[in-house]
Structure 1
Amino acid sequence: MNRLLKFLFLLLVVPVGSVFAQESDPTVEAIIKEATENSQLEWLAHQLTDVIGPRLVGTPQMQHAHDWAVSQFEEWGISAENQEYGEWDGWERGITHIDLISPRVVSLEGQQLAWSPATPEGGVTASVDILPTVENQEEFNAWLKTIEGKVIMISRPQLTGRPDYNWEEFATEESFAKMREDRSAQSQAWRENLQRIGYGRDLNNKLEEAGAVGLFQSRWSNGFGVNKIFSANTENIPVIDLSLEDYGMLHRMVEYGSEPEVKINAQSKRLGKVPTFNTIATIPGNEKADEYIILSAHYDSWDGGTGATDNATGSVTMMEAARILKEVYPNPKRTIIIGLWGGEEQGLNGSSAYVEDNPEIVNNMQALFNQDNGTGRVVRISGQGFLHAYEFLGRWLEAVPRDITQHIETTFPGTPGGGGSDYASFVSAEAPGFSLSSLSWSYWNYTWHTNRDTYDKIVFDDVRNNAILTAILTYMASEDPETFPRDKAVLPINPSTGERMEWPTPRTPNRTGN
């Protein structure tokens, strides 16, 4: 068989990746060996989540996390610093203790929201009331005159504490359908009543002005035991998130006239304006030191849990990839930067500020790899609208073990991300930033911004794969003799508007926020 016929025969019967398979690369093999035999992921995650805890911007824990990262990088021989980009309202969480004291005594499950004001020292004891069903705002205003000294419940109670998947498994079709119809009707009635109340986002402030001593909410995340925990918007009274179960119990007590009374002790400190930072670590390049590869993850979190999958997993992935590269590839051709961004949860502030402050780096980026959405193995990579993404990412991925790439679906050239995570700050500046998007592991219900986002939800086998993937992509991008071109693809028509999509524009970071 001549050479041409033999080549065509191989194309017919052997996967293309096998025909063009590269010889094993000693550096790739060393990356895999270091990642699997000497992994530090579990220890890094323990330090970041269990020891330091949640990393809410403006808190001492956030500052502790930045300082710890600098120390850890330097222990590995990687230069690092905290770069200030702005300031935020400082706040420190104290204890939250909520007790039902009548008609029976029991401690309730709940916590104050981020930046919540404190109760007086020793707490407050008060009766509980719910938002009334009213005909108009005047009727609601009359009710406001009755709430001085009370705790007011401001969320819709849930019809069921069982998630839909549990109903689907055990309920009859008729029962499941009826529950959903009843829930929809309840939700509609709640929305219509809020419209009649008329205050919208000002509602909490109106309740505070009328003399309420605290607010109870319950923002269920549609899973057993999970609530979304965000921020308070009151000046002087605490806002407490209660578990679905306890919130529902109190709401029923009010409805049935059981006259519940509670004691709340919620302590916190306002710390004034404090500086906000990005932690930036650098492994200098040699041949092309003025071209850059950025390993990217947001470092801050909400503080309902300990920010384990949003985004300690992404942060320790990038730290571990940097550690591995420093160990087995200490003299990269291009400069490798690790960016642990602050203020992502308030609008990509840290990464946007970095883009704004470092045009010489952004304009000379070879690639950025960002990981954010949970603990799962990477399953999607988009070309973000860059015309040549297939060519470059394709050959970088060739070096990654098949047991990792077999799970990854690629979309080329894709469309540019305008938000969602920090890669978008760079894409909007027309720099090649790529999201390493993960498998869900019930992220949206169970860990995204919830009280259950803790160390035990991390799937370390998947995170280890992500560290290997990131390290190999970084190595391949560093060694590539070509520089990633910035040509943009023609974007598709947006089906919702009928107009062609436009490239996103850079956002202005909030450097003095609260």
Structure 2
Amino acid sequence: MRISALLGFLFLGLQALAQNTQVDYESIYKIKDEGFNNSQVMDIAWNLTDRIGPRLTGSEGLKKAYDWTSQMYKDWGLTNVKVEAWGDFGPGWEVDKNYIAMTVPYYQAMIAIPKAWTPGTGKEITAEVVYVEINSEEDLAKYKGNLKGKVVLMPTTTEAVNGYDADARRYTDEELEGMTKVAVRGGRGGGNFSASRMSDFRRASNLRRAAYTMLKEEGVAMVLNTNRGGQGTFFTSNGARNDDSALPEMEMAPEHYNRMVRLLQKGEKVMVEAETKTRFLKSDTKGYNVVGDIVGSDARLKNEVVMVGAHLDSWFAGTGATDNAAGSAVMMEVMRILKTSGVKLKRTVRIGLWSGEEQGIFGSRNYVQNTFMTDKKPNAAHQNFSAYYNMDNGTGAIRGIYLQGNEATKGLFEEWFKPFHEIGASTITTSNTGGTDHLAFDGVGLPGFQFIQDPIAYNTRTHHSNMDIYEALEEVDLKKNAVIIAALVMQTANMDAKMPRKPKDF
């Protein structure tokens, strides 16, 4: 009897798995037809980039994006549309004017932008440039009394060198196969700091704070800095949002920065003229998310939720195209496809466009805590949640999915991706990836997934750079992504059971 019971249990389990993994090809045909033949994804992306522009959290640009995206939800027939406060973010920040040029030893307009959350110059300045070499706090003393009214170049090891490899690339079959072999942290998550590296990082941070305090006391006119980049591209830092010692500061293309350094090191006099106007926005310091629903059709299951999401905020040197208008446009297009195609959705499907991701995944983390947790314990909404899908790895085509260690879902996704093998999406890995909003869900035991995407030029040219603009978007890839995600959402919404979860202690 025990053997019979066990066999019966296994049969029922396999039967349930088969029902959940069965591909609904009729609905996928409708999704493909709408997504490939009537796509609006590039028009959505154009509105977010060219028309609305940069969307730094707390900025006027992001406020415009809140208004426009929520109106589009309503126009498409979504319900429960909200621009919903998630908590206090702090002052926003805007750039109203941005100009710098070298005037001595000759005139040269330069590529630069104010560092986020720094004050402006207040007026046009003309000043001598000084390169300070500070390797320890003892070095600060030799500059005291000599920097008032000067423009200061901070020390850097950044070089701009000729590149012999293409900026953009796609994953090879061998690379994708390798992702399925080893369950390691991948994508944007980065590696672990050793104790010595962490100590070096803290030492450098402390030295930087001491240097900026001294520069402010000295009355310098402006600080110039540079990060990695080259060929006219520069990558921004995380800004100075919580830095009370912030001075007027600009981040520059390394070629222009290093030219001034070389001139100064050779004994040449360098002067610049500059004017930056920035504003701190303090009338509304809250952060917001934009949410909306397609209510499920099944009376028993419509209180359960499947979510898609992406972060709507961006940096501001470009227009935040690949990071992350691409993800926001695709997820909006997913909702439009699901609504317009008329495919059956038993569970409610919800979209969340998040803010504050660039400063610490604030929007999604607060949404998850506010919605699915009560007194740090799972609530009824947590119980009724099925899965969350996130897109935030640039414009590249989806090649598969990271399961975040949720091995129980592997069989589901292996089946659900079969209709997309012919367009290159087939890699299912139990590995983790980090650095973005799916972590908010995964962190409280909810199934949260991020996609494997072709890198294109995300890390080499566009991520947090002045070249993160509309032209960096790959139309064919974004159409594919919207179709694939819409199909996965449809399958998830119509499962007999919710998405399997990893064990989680609270």
TM-score relative to the length of structure 2? 0.81
CA distance 1:218–1:139, change in 2 (3 Å)? closer
Structure 2 counterpart SS, 1:245: helix
CA distance 1:142–1:280, change in 2 (3 Å)? same
**1:430-469 residue pairs with structure 2 within 5 A?**
430-469=445-484
Tell me if structure 2 keeps the 8 A contact 1:298–1:342: yes
Is 1:93 matched up with 2:108?
A: no
Cα deviations by residue, 1:108-162 (Å, 9 ceiling, x for unpaired):
11111111201113x211100011367x633431313211110100141545432
Alpha-carbon distance in 1 for matches of 2:427, 2:209: 41
AA at the equivalent of 2:142: A
Structure 2 counterpart SS, 1:354: helix
Cα deviations by residue, 1:434-487 (Å, 9 ceiling, x for unpaired):
111211012112111111111000011011100000100011111111222324
CA distance 1:156–1:164, change in 2 (3 Å)? farther
Tell me if structure 1 keeps the 8 A contact 2:134–2:155: no
Alpha-carbon distance in 1 for matches of 2:408, 2:159: 51
Tell me if structure 2 keeps the 8 A contact 1:283–1:330: no
Q: Percent identity?
A: 29
Q: 1:337 aligns with which of 341, 350, 362?
A: 350
Cα deviations by residue, 1:194-214 (Å, 9 ceiling, x for unpaired):
979972343223212221110
Is 1:36 matched up with 2:36?
A: yes
Alpha-carbon distance in 2 for matches of 1:344, 1:51: 22
Cα deviations by residue, 1:161-194 (Å, 9 ceiling, x for unpaired):
323648xxxxxxxxxxxxxxxxxxxxxxxx99x9
* Matched residue, 2:259: 249
Tell me if structure 2 keeps the 8 A contact 1:396–1:477: no
Alpha-carbon distance in 2 for matches of 1:86, 1:51: 28
Is 1:408 matched up with 2:426?
A: yes
CA distance 1:101–1:318, change in 2 (3 Å)? same
* Matched residue, 1:361: 381
Alpha-carbon distance in 2 for matches of 1:460, 1:89: 35
AA at the equivalent of 1:203: A
* Matched residue, 2:297: 286
Once the two structures are overlaid, the 10-residue window that deviates more, 251-260 or 136-145, is 136-145
AA at the equivalent of 1:50: D
CA distance 1:305–1:81, change in 2 (3 Å)? same
CA distance 1:47–1:423, change in 2 (3 Å)? same
**1:299-378 residue pairs with structure 2 within 5 A?**
299-329=312-342, 332-359=345-372, 360-378=380-398
Tell me if structure 2 keeps the 8 A contact 1:363–1:431: no
Structure 2 counterpart SS, 1:44: helix
What's the Cα RMSD here? 2.5
Is 1:470 matched up with 2:485?
A: yes
Shift of 1:301: 0.9
Alpha-carbon distance in 2 for matches of 1:219, 1:225: 12
Once the two structures are overlaid, the 10-residue window that deviates more, 376-385 or 62-71, is 376-385
Tell me if structure 2 keeps the 8 A contact 1:55–1:301: yes
Alpha-carbon distance in 1 for matches of 2:309, 2:487: 15
AA at the equivalent of 1:335: T
AA at the equivalent of 2:292: A
Runs of 4+ in 1 over 6 A off after TM superposition: 21-24, 194-198
Alpha-carbon distance in 1 for matches of 2:407, 2:422: 27
AA at the equivalent of 1:324: I
Alpha-carbon distance in 2 for matches of 1:334, 1:24: 15
* Matched residue, 1:276: 287
Alpha-carbon distance in 1 for matches of 2:456, 2:484: 19
* Matched residue, 2:127: 126
* Matched residue, 2:377: none
Alpha-carbon distance in 2 for matches of 1:279, 1:152: 41
CA distance 1:197–1:126, change in 2 (3 Å)? farther
CA distance 1:195–1:95, change in 2 (3 Å)? same
Structure 2 counterpart SS, 1:241: strand
* Matched residue, 1:493: none
* Matched residue, 1:46: 46
CA distance 1:26–1:133, change in 2 (3 Å)? closer
Tell me if structure 2 keeps the 8 A contact 1:213–1:238: yes
Q: 2:220 aligns with which of 209, 212, 225?
A: 212
Shift of 1:60: 0.7
Structure 2: give runs of 5+ residues left out of the alignment. Answer: 1-20, 167-198, 373-379
Tell me if structure 2 keeps the 8 A contact 1:428–1:504: no
Alpha-carbon distance in 1 for matches of 2:155, 2:465: 17
Q: 1:199 aligns with which of 192, 204, 207?
A: 207
How many residue pairs end up in the alignment? 438
Cα deviations by residue, 1:324-375 (Å, 9 ceiling, x for unpaired):
0001136520000001011111111111001101114333222111110110
Structure 2 counterpart SS, 1:289: coil
AA at the equivalent of 1:112: P
Once the two structures are overlaid, the 10-residue window that deviates more, 197-206 or 288-297, is 197-206
Alpha-carbon distance in 2 for matches of 1:157, 1:104: 25
CA distance 1:284–1:155, change in 2 (3 Å)? farther
Alpha-carbon distance in 2 for matches of 1:24, 1:142: 73
Once the two structures are overlaid, the 10-residue window that deviates more, 273-282 or 54-63, is 273-282
Shift of 1:403: 2.1
Shift of 1:59: 0.5
Shift of 1:99: 1.7
AA at the equivalent of 2:220: A
Cα deviations by residue, 1:222-270 (Å, 9 ceiling, x for unpaired):
x432211131346563110121121111112211222111111001111
Once the two structures are overlaid, the 10-residue window that deviates more, 300-309 or 268-277, is 268-277
Structure 2 counterpart SS, 1:229: coil
Structure 2 counterpart SS, 1:129: strand
Shift of 1:107: 1.6
Cα deviations by residue, 1:395-432 (Å, 9 ceiling, x for unpaired):
3334x33323x3331114x45x5x41111110111111
Q: 2:231 aligns with which of 221, 224, 238?
A: 224
CA distance 1:41–1:160, change in 2 (3 Å)? closer
Structure 1 counterpart SS, 2:85: strand
Alpha-carbon distance in 1 for matches of 2:111, 2:154: 17
Shift of 1:23: 8.3
Tell me if structure 1 keeps the 8 A contact 2:137–2:211: no
* Matched residue, 1:390: 410
